A and B are shown apart, each in its own frame.
Chain A
Amino acid sequence: MLAGMAGLALDRAPPLGVPLRFLLTAPFLAAAAGLALAAVGPAAVTARLAGPAVAAAHLYTLGFVTMVMCGALLQLLPVVGGGTVPAQRAVAAIVHALLAVSPLVLGAGLATGAGAATAAGAALAAAALALFCAAGLAGVRSCARGQDTVRAIGAALMALAVALAVGLLAALGRAGWAVPAGSWGTLHQAWVLLGWVGVLVMGVAWQVVPMFQMTPPYPPAARRVPLAALLAGLVGWSVARTAGSAPVAAAALAAAALALAAFALATLALQARRRRRLRDATLDAWRIAMLALLAALACGLVAVARPGAGPGWAWAAGTLYLVGFAGSAITGMLYKIVPFLLWLHMHRRLHPRPGATARVPHLRELLPEARARRQLRLHALAVALLALAGAWPALARPAGLVAAVAWTLLGVELARAALAARRALAAAA
């Protein structure tokens, strides 16, 4: 996926369709999440743990965030780590289909209180993620090189497995099944947000930020220390919380938060030292992501320190983290990765031997900077409205609508890039 990285095994890169189906589908599921949020309206903030709000959240986290991450990992593991994901085409087809359907079924069940649909949706999601975890961890084990990114991927997949297990218990409990007592929902949220999303964005950043944003590489200490602190904090918090030790749980959560803050500050510092001063949409998307992460941590601190202050701070922390941080980082990555994968595919098909003269469209022809910037402006507006809805819940509905338009636009631009590549190949045939 990433040209020019030492140690890339590009001959192991999967067929284009393996990652591309995930990356092209995901934005439209995010748009559906935006519409779901708009339908729920202010209740998403004031009753964020109620069925409809949880439904919208899962449409986004499963249908967009996890969908993109699965596609990215299927590309990264062979190319960066030299590993082999077993039966990658079949795994991609099955996981993609289940991740596309399960949040819709789960969401319908959660929104309407239909226990059977909730259980069915949870089962479909569980099947997708269990298959992906198994295949992904097999891929990690097959990597010959002990790269930090590969270690982060392995840790993120194990965190996903934990999130899946406790999430299943939470969903089944919600559907009316008899499950062991425990705050499974809270544990599920923490392992998804910190373990799956946080660890994976961190690990992927170590590759894509220097590569596409022309920054110096992350120093080894800036990679390993935050990763270790984040994982230790998450595990420590989970154990302490379950054991009922509030001070230890608080200290562990603080360690995890500091780790994420250190990652955000390190990334911003690297961006300030980039060789090429020309800004582009990817650079700005990642700046928004890092600033949103810092803001999310600040709002989260207020929410924890002042539990009587109402749901707004927790809402703001959650949306800034999921949409501002993860959503912006993913968006910035997609602006580069999708055109690059298409370009690489076209180049290999059109220039297989000396003397080939067919023209390969440049990346900026596949996804022009002006169109990426237009989408990013809408996305930034959605992030702001979502966060402000914590103070003014009436903003939740317009925030959902703006987010739906922003994500639809992203999906359309990526689809246009794919169609342009297909036309170039057809013209050269």
Chain B
Amino acid sequence: MNPGEPAVAARERRLDVRDLEPPEPLERALAVLPGLGPGEYLHMLHRREPLLLYELLEAQGFRHCAREGPEAPWEIFIWREGDEAARAAAEAACRGA
């Protein structure tokens, strides 16, 4: 982002995969992620920690943070690498701020 340009507003996109069996949670996430716009991050609600997804995220150019609860057993926040607005918002949401 260049000086003088308006800051990009961060937006959350939600994906609830708690009732899906493997590998549908991963498939849904990978289908949604390419469509994330500037400032957008994905907030996944999951039954378990999706370690397989983490492995694939890095290769696809995304970063993540995760926490246990309160809305789901696991909540994962994913943003596009290089998108600072999305990163800051996702990490703040992950910390519960």
Contacts and interface: CB of A to CB of B under 8 A. Distances in A.
A419 interface: no
What secondary structure prevails in chain A residues at the interface with B?
Answer: loop
B51 A3 contact: yes
Given A352-B59, A353-B60, A354-B61, A6 B22 contact: no
Contact of A212 (B22, B52, B59): B22
Interface string B42-68: 000011111111011001110000000
B39 interface: no
Contact of A6 (B19, B26, B51): B51
Interface size class of A (residues with CB under 8 A): 20 to 34
User: Considering residues B30, B51, B55, B60, which has the most beta carbons from chain A within 10 angstroms of its beta carbon?
Assistant: B51
A362 B52 contact: no
Contact of B21 (A8, A276, A353): A276
Interface residues of B, number: 23
A2 B60 CA distance: 21
B27 interface: yes
Contacts of A8: 51-52
Contacts of B13: none
B14 interface: no
A237 interface: no
A343 interface: yes
Interface string A349-361: 0011110000000
Contact of B49 (A4, A343, A344, A363): A4
A347 B29 CA distance: 14
Interface of A: 2-8, 10-11, 211-212, 214, 275-276, 340, 343-344, 347, 351-354, 362-363
16 contacts: A4-B22, A4-B47, A4-B48, A4-B51, A8-B51, A8-B52, A10-B55, A214-B21, A275-B18, A275-B47, A276-B20, A340-B23, A351-B60, A352-B59, A353-B59, A362-B27
